[in-house]
Structure 1
Amino acid sequence: MNNPIALGQPTVGAEELAQVQRVFESGWLSGAGPTCQAFERRFTEVSGVGHTVATSNCGSALHLAQLALGISRGDEVVVGDYTFPATGHSVMWSGATPVFADVRQDIWSVDPDAVEASITERTVGIIAVDPFGQPADYDELRAIADRHGLWLVEDAACAAGASYKGRPAGSLADIACFSFHGRKGITAGEGGALSTDDAELADRARKLHTYGIAPALSREGAATLPVPEFDELGYNYRMSDVQAGIMLAQLDRLETLVANRRAVATAYGELMGDLEQVVLPVEADARVHPYQSYVIGIHPSLDRGAVALELRARGIGCNFGTYASHVQPLYGEQKPLPVSAELFARHLAIPMHANLTQDEVQRVAEAVREVVSLDLVRA
């Protein structure tokens, strides 16, 4: 049997090790240190806005974003439904309620009409998700937010290197939040970032991400012995300097990593575009899709689970796409969202990472073609 082909794989090597060595030599390994500051300066170039706060993960960035924007217990936030539940969790962490809105059938981001229909007198904001990296409809969402006096947050967990109408992911809302989990396009294993053009929002998030006080680095070199006071509840949501060092090397790779993933997506389209049993992802007009994952829709007549097991038996890594959040028990009774529910039931992620070779891409496509032609019908 050929070597298994992983569903996802980071691209790391000597450059990342060299950056970690520099952090070790600096003596500052913990969070919010000088290497984090260097990463934050570099990441503003990626996000296209003036301020970045490095965080422990995307969930903490989403929570900080909402706190900085003034969320309160009892508020409602409209959330794109087809997403890992960290998006909805982040709303609940503040005692607010996520109200899930259905998504577009073609690119899986939140449907602006569904957002409009979900707004009530308790709504304070909108969180739009960029599914697997492709940006949502931010012009339409911005218009809705402005019309109703709401804030808009971009869940750009998968979207580093993406763009929408020439603007980079990170610059498309009041605040954007990124993930650097091991499956993402650039990664430190974990970690995240909050990006905004609003200095006051950035300052507020930075205070709250360090227990409610200024980071220790801000007191380095003081002529006195400053003792900070804790005047409000904050959190330990900091990225470590070790992670920030890795991210500096990853930012050097970003352009190449996105290009490699897009080349894989193009090849998959050429090799599987004629299959009637699957629906391939599409890149919408005026967008650059970074393809954090490559997710196909399995025909309703086929048993997706059986397809997945057969692919795995052939050494092809695969898994479901992401979640229809509204069906998760945590969120209680929710209105039916048929598009998101269908995507959740039919989607299957197949190998996508920047290290895939042409032979591996060919092997994946051939395996998919063979497996969907088997008699794996739903019971």
Structure 2
Amino acid sequence: MPIGSPTVGEAELAAVAEVFRSGWLAGSGPTCRRFEERFARAVGVRHALATSSCGTALHLGLRVLGVARADEVIVADYTFLATAHAVVHAGATPVFVDVRGDTGTVDPDAVAAAVTSRTVGIIAVDVAGQPADYDELAAVARRHGLWLFEDAACAAGATYRGRPAGSLADLAAFSFHGRKGITAGEGGALVSDREELIERARRLHSYGIVPAIERESATGLPVPGCEEAGYNYRLSDVQAAIMTAQLDRLPGLLASRRAVAERYREGFADLPGVTPAVELPDREHAWQAYHLTVACGEERDRIATRLRERGIGCGFGTYACHLQPVYGSDRHLPVSARLLATRLAIPMHANLTGAEVDRVIGEVRSAVAGSP
């Protein structure tokens, strides 16, 4: 039983066939533009740019925000490495800060304490699909004149105090990786209400020149100029077609994941030494992943070994970035380190049947009890 599984089928195949018939398979074409318009509306912003991954969306966002080599960027520590890698690729220094013990999202007080004269912005992460504390983070950003960037990789369809994930900061980045709530296998998006940021990102994501689709209707033979070196960070129109079909599925996928999460909450509520995932009352979790918290790391590892022996996929949650040698961090962040050691990700996707969910619950409970 895999830890994650995409929900794809005939609708996605039909969308891809339409792109094949169109003759435009490359990136940043007409299908991409239609998807960008729909995705922007879905996440409550004016502008969206489809990208090759969430990592490239994060990097583009930092470029258009003007991040430079002497800068520090405050980064939520409990996150996949792409969040901090983007800061490194932009030439700046990631300053990791600790997180809440219940949700794993960044602690606003820790953010405020980490601001220095070199700090230019904050990257918050919607861990496993639950938005961070954006009102409090925005207040810190305003007080110090910083920008706020939402890493919404896992959070398509989530909400915070009635506002969609993606609309909660100056910029937001999404992932369409195969384990995400909506997926094209790979891909991402950068979104914002600030048109000037997205338009500059659009040039940078296509080698620094005006995308080909914008030259299609021109008279004569325009030769685009290039004022800054960009990248090939485009999403193909094939992937954009898949994503358009996935957007149609989003409400149903969220409902299915929510039902699984509720069944897990009930099934683990009375299990000693194991804490079910928390959904805060003022936000709606997208449930990209489901993390149990086990009393200690050795017990977590024992349960994981048992589950894998029984054919049930599981994982460690996500990274405590400050512990990774690549960053050379000297920070001491006990909450994030504890979550790395004690979180256990169990199967969470929209294809799970009731019987499969019950089997996961039963196997976890047996493992905790030490039953054969």
TM bucket, shorter chain: over 0.9
Query: Are 1:293 and 2:286 counterparts?
Result: no
Farther off after superposition, 277-286 or 133-142? 277-286
4+ residue segments displaced more than 4 Å: none
CA drift of 1:6 comes to: 1.1
From 223, 226, 232, the counterpart of 1:227: 223
Residue 280 of structure 1 aligns with an amino acid whose one-letter code is P
Measured in 2, the distance between the counterparts of 1:349 and 1:42 equals 31
Quick check: 243-252 or 310-319, which moved more?
Answer: 310-319
Q: Which amino acid aligns with 2:370?
A: L
Q: How many residues align?
A: 372
Match of 1:184 among 169, 180, 185: 180
Write out per-residue CA displacement over residues 155-199 of structure 1, whole angstroms, 9 at most, x where no aligned residue: 000000000000000100000000000000000000000110011
In the alignment, which residue of structure 2 is the partner of 1:19?
A: 15
Aligned to 2:268: 272
Within 5 Å, give how 1:213-362 maps onto structure 2. Answer: 213-300=209-296, 302-362=298-358
Query: Does residue 1:88 correspond to 2:58, yes or no?
Result: no
**Secondary structure, aligned partner of 1:295:** strand
**Does the 8 A contact of 2:31 with 2:241 survive in 1?**
yes
Can you list the C-alpha shifts for 1:20-43, whole angstroms capped at 9, x where unaligned?
000100100010000000100110
1:302 shift after superposition: 4.3
Give how far 1:19 is off.
Answer: 0.3
Question: SS where residue 83 of structure 1 aligns?
Answer: coil
Higher mean alpha-carbon deviation, 301-310 vs 281-290, is at 301-310
Q: Which residue of 1 aligns with 2:42?
A: 46
Instruction: Measure how far apart 1:305 and its partner are.
Output: 2.0
In the alignment, which residue of structure 2 is the partner of 1:120?
116
* In structure 2, C-alpha distance between the alignment counterparts of 1:279 and 1:287, rounded to whole Å: 19
Residue number in structure 2 paired with 1:149: 145
Aligned to 1:206: 202
Partner amino acid for 1:121?
Answer: S
SS in 2 for 1:364: helix
19 and 357 in structure 1: CA distance in 2 versus 1, 3 angstrom threshold: same
1:80, 1:316 → 2: CA distance? 30
Q: Secondary structure at the match of 1:265?
A: helix
* Gap regions ≥5 residues in structure 2: none
Identity of matched residues, %? 62
TM-score w.r.t. the length of structure 2 is: 0.99
Aligned equivalents of 1:260, 1:239: Cα separation in 2: 27
The correspondence of residues 1-12 of structure 1 with structure 2, limited to 5 A, is 5-12=1-8
**Kept in 1: contact 2:155–2:174 (CA 8 A):** yes
Cα distance between partner residues in 1 of 2:19 and 2:204: 25
- 1:122-137 correspondence runs (5 A): 122-137=118-133
Within 1, Cα distance between the matches of 2:298 and 2:369?
A: 10
Q: Is the 8 A contact 2:297 2:341 kept in 1?
A: no
Match of 2:75 among 75, 79, 82: 79
Check if 1:33 corresponds to 2:33.
no
